[in-house]
A and B are shown apart, each in its own frame.
Chain A
């Protein structure tokens, strides 16, 4: 068996590869459950079907898909420019901190302007954290992969310090958490009785905006040229540094928005753990969605389903929540493997193939 490069990437396979990867990951999950002494069929049912059986499940799905989608949109724009922001988790956290700080500072202040200020602070907090990485990359050539990641670890520790120190709730019995945000600083709930907030609308609006940016604007064109053909980009006078700044500020801002929407939404205060790894899972969403905004919408829902399903497994099968991470990781590994079919044709060695191979010795 050998691989033959396709003249151009197969569009059919680009869509089929994620489906194939999902099937393989589900099979891998079944093996995993069997190894852990559980019934694979009922586990798979809990994972993929049970969460969708009632209205509450669907609303929780939207709740979890929102931050994943917001983070993934930014990451995907970066990947197209060959800018790897893998620290969305940190920008998410910084957005939550900045937004939370404004919410706590405004305290009982009433008024329509409170929530926009909180959200803006979140976006700016995330963008600033991304901006640090952009500055270090453009000014000192320090690679953004490691820097954004290190900044994530720092952000999480800073949050841990703030909720145990300067921002701790004085009447909170020394729990590591801040005061609850006031109603004026909280996002309105979309559906009565659910936890889904207007953040879901932000994410849905961001999808066409990201598609427009990449597909229809000069900035998006520059980003893609810088990523695909750095030499051509330089020749055309497209600034690589500019692309780095745009990508990291944009993805940082989106991740920051996701972060502030979590704390000003379902969580309602700052606590040491505000994300079950959304920022990292968003990397998988970006690839699973083929870096296309619409594709990422589906991928975000699928990843949210895995989070929800894992919660179900924790309750019914006493499996740790980390099961979600294993299956998500397998999904990405299988996807990267399946993608070989997008760029290559598999040929089973015929006579000519053998002759060719042997002439290469």
Chain B
């Protein structure tokens, strides 16, 4: 491969690694802007990954697989919404429960699909590329979900900043009491935000099992759900910054894989620590500026809301 193709390959790999982080992170960002902290992203992604894979293998349609994954993520988010919004359960504990359940559920239902080979999304769309120019081969690896992940931050940013629904959502996240006093349905608005977060996490999970890897292996999300959560903090709850952060993370992950090719011998296990160490570093860098974090965080984040009565 010549340098140009190498560079494009690196860029494409970076974007592909960033896509699931962007999708899941955007879902959580919207959820948090509505004032709800859902720590179940990792679990919802895992369930999305396994359900999307199973549905895709059974029906033969990756589109149905993606839809099923979104439905599964939203279903888990619905459980979370009932617990935290209706039954006033602790958000942190409920999110953790969702993740623990998701890890077990995906491992149990994924067992028959373990290491079952499928054709990845990109190859499915452009099957006969072996003769094409290597540059084109690389570029067409950017499947529709990556394009979606690149477009979605702009859509979400516009929704939050410009639309009436987005304004309401932010109002609920800043002060549920005030929004309630104005007659808005706080619980319903938060519920929709939580469901959106679940569907996006499910989609991100299915991206991993249907396009990125593409196969199902136990615990394949490997902490990406938690990294997405960290990216929301890093972005100070801004969609475009979130995407930028995710791309940076994608690059760190890919650079790690590339290290070997560049002649830097590193043990694979130590390479695998890179994204986690980078997450901690990023959290430290962003969190030390307490004022900035306070100014940007949704004021009602994580606070339960009890309508009077």
Contacts and interface: CB of A to CB of B under 8 A. Distances in A.
Interface of A: 2-5, 32, 84, 86, 136, 140-143, 145-147, 149-151, 153-154, 157-158, 160-161, 164-165, 277, 280-281, 283-284, 287, 319-320, 322-330, 332-333, 336-337, 339-340, 343-344, 356-357, 360-361
Contact of B288 (A141, A158, A164): A141
A333 B79 contact: yes
Given A136-B280, A150-B279, A154-B276, A340 B88 contact: yes
Most buried by B among A150, A287, A323, A330: A150
A32 B273 CA distance: 35
A5 B306 contact: yes
B39 A329 contact: no
A280 B96 CA distance: 9
A279 B79 CA distance: 24
A147 B97 contact: no
> Chain B at the A interface: mostly helix, strand, loop or mixed?
helix
Contact of B287 (A32, A143, A324, A357): A143
B226 A333 contact: no
> Chain A at the B interface: mostly helix, strand, loop or mixed?
helix
Contacts of A160: 269, 272
Interface residues of B, number: 52
**Sorted from nearest, which 9 A-B pairs have the closest CB atoms?**
A325-B104, A329-B101, A322-B107, A161-B269, A326-B104, A332-B97, A340-B87, A336-B89, A160-B269
Interface in B217-237: 218, 222-223, 226, 229-230, 233
Given A336-B94, A343-B88, A158 B273 contact: yes
Contact of B273 (A4, A153, A280, A332): A153
B290 interface: yes
B102 interface: yes
A161 B266 CA distance: 10
Contacts of A4: 309
Interface string B65-102: 00000000000000100110001111011101110111
A150 B94 contact: no
A247 to B, nearest CB: 15
A300 to B, nearest CB: 16
Given A157-B270, A326-B108, A337-B87, A145 B39 contact: yes
Contacts of A356: 309
B104 A323 contact: yes
B288 A150 contact: no
Given A158-B270, A357-B309, 11 more contacts: A136-B283, A140-B284, A145-B92, A147-B283, A283-B100, A322-B106, A325-B104, A333-B98, A340-B88, A344-B88, A360-B309
